[in-house]
Structure 1
Amino acid sequence: MPRKHLIASGINKKQQTQAKLGNKLAKEIKAAAKVGGPNPEANPRLKAAIDKALQNNLSKESIEKNINGSIKDPSSLTDAEYEGYGPNGLRIIIKTLSDNDNRTISSLRGYFSKLKGEIAKPNSVKNSFIYGGEIIISNKDLTEDDLMEKILLSLEKIEVTDNDEPIQETNQHEDCFQIIVMPKYFYKIRQELETLGLKIIESEIKYIPTDYVDLNKEDYARLERFLDSCNEDDDVQWVISNFGEVIE
């Protein structure tokens, strides 16, 4: 998997203000706790939400407050994933969490229209992504052989179901290694790798592109405006695309 994925995955974060991001993270924690209960060990969605919140510097106090607040919150939120196309066949997935689906879909149609794209049928876009746990590790003072040795050591420490392949893919980049693991082994493998002394730069269970679409400058500018609109929309939790690079 080319390094362009790591560059593209950062676009959304750079454009999102910390305040907006904090609100969206808190909203996901509250929704996850309300649906699956307040214990993250028994609620995978809440565990993932807390993990992402901590990585983005949301305080433990705020996390606890939102978990506890979910019990008393009378509001009802519906989560959904929308798929769509952008210029040059760009593929996009959008996660929403909303109390008004009609408002949400109306807004998304407007954003896609300005992008010169359209909302797609369910599961028509997701075949360009895999859903997995991504672990990004610093390669400072770490060779590929060292990494593979530590991965094997980590696998010896966890229980693996027959026929499962916990490690889906490993890729070496200029300044990091990328490991993609099956979601159900994500936390255990990450914990073991940390115990073995590896420096984890970033980690998350997410949709990861399997192929990429490059855009010219004009279309890329439209994509940036599209992301700005999505990031400012309180109903939108995250956006991911298979954007690759800007071409001249």
Structure 2
Amino acid sequence: MAGHSKFKNIMHRKGAQDKKRSAMFSKLSREITVAAKMGAPDPDMNPRLRAAVLAAKAQSMPKDNIQRAIDKSSAGEGDNYEEIRYEGFGPGGVSLIVEALTDNRNRTATNVRTIFSKNGGNLGASGSVSHGFDRLGLITYPASAGDADAVLEAAIEAGAEDVQSGEDGHEIWTAQEDLHEVAKAIEKTLGEPESTKLAWRPQNQIDVGEAEAGTLLKLIDQLDDDDDVQTVWGNYEVSDAVMEKLG
């Protein structure tokens, strides 16, 4: 994972999902259906749905799959899911936020708690770690969208708050309430983004050494493998050297 960006290091490593495309598509479909149920089934009229569709496209999810997920909301099909956030601690004192969509709160809570306890972590109470994160909007673009100066200029003109550019791409941060307006404005200059979402950005990073990094990444992978878990965020930083040693 050499050359990973800071953002990719605080979110689950999506490369691990490439071998599990069926499960990944299931999670993306669930988010699309939930988003469509909560608002209009038209992505242009529903910011959350638009973000979900963009995420699906970024993972090469077929258009037919995307449309079927939207149609489920209109037909009243599928289970009723609720959004739940879990907070806990991983190896090395790392803080983790787990976002889930579930139709069975007890099942999900049990699974998440078990995964934490089996991998050197502890599930905490609501609010136990989120105070160390900022809830912000995040828009991502590939490096091919332009050089750092061009992206910065477009982001500033659109009203973004911060931009981080690297060899992996560009991360544009906004106030959460401004996310979709900023995204629309930037799209006129840079084109369609890779993703548009609400994110948890840590206020401080914890550098995790080789001794604990393997267990931490196993914890995150197992959380992400759970059918109900949508996203895992954390305040950890693992160096390229350590990642290379872990293989």
What residue ranges of structure 1 are gaps of 5+ in the alignment? 156-165
Among 38, 42, 46, the residue aligned to 1:43: 46
Secondary structure of residue in 2 paired with 1:31: helix
> Aligned pair 1:68/2:61, yes or no?
no
Kept in 2: contact 1:139–1:175 (CA 8 A): no
Aligned: 1:83 with 2:87: yes
1:174-193 deviation per Cα after TM superposition (whole angstroms, max 9, x unaligned):
56443211234333433433
- Aligned positions of 1:224-239 closer than 5 A: 224-239=217-232
TM-score (norm 1): 0.80
Deviation at 1:199, TM superposition (A): 8.6
1:208 aligned to 2:201? yes
Cα distance in 1 for partners of 2:100, 2:215 equals 21
Q: What is the match of residue 237 of structure 2?
A: 244
Q: Does 2:162 correspond to 1:169?
A: yes
Q: Which digits, 9 at most, give the CA deviation of each residue in 1:100-137, with x for residues without a partner?
A: 11111111111110222211221221122222222344
Check the 8 A contact 2:176/2:198 in 1, yes or no: yes
Aligned residue for 1:73, secondary structure, equals coil
Give the secondary structure class of the aligned counterpart of 2:161.
strand
Residue 23 of structure 2 corresponds to which residue in structure 1?
Answer: 20
Q: What is the one-letter code of the residue matched to 2:15?
A: K
TM-score computed with the length of structure 2 as normaliser: 0.80
Specify whether residues 50 and 84 from structure 1 end up closer, same or farther in structure 2 by C-alpha distance, changes over 3 A only: same
What's the Cα RMSD here?
Answer: 2.8
Partner of 2:113: 109
Aligned equivalents of 1:34, 1:202: Cα separation in 2: 20
Write the letter of the residue equivalent to 1:126.
Answer: S
| Deviation sequence 1:191-242 (CA, Å, 0-9, x none) | 4334324795655332222221122223221122212322321111121111
Greater Rg over alpha carbons, structure: 1
Aligned-residue identity in percent: 26
Q: Tell me the matched-pair count.
A: 234
- Does the C-alpha gap of structure 1 residues 99 and 121 become closer, same or farther in structure 2, counting only changes over 3 Å? same
Match status 1:93 vs 2:100: no
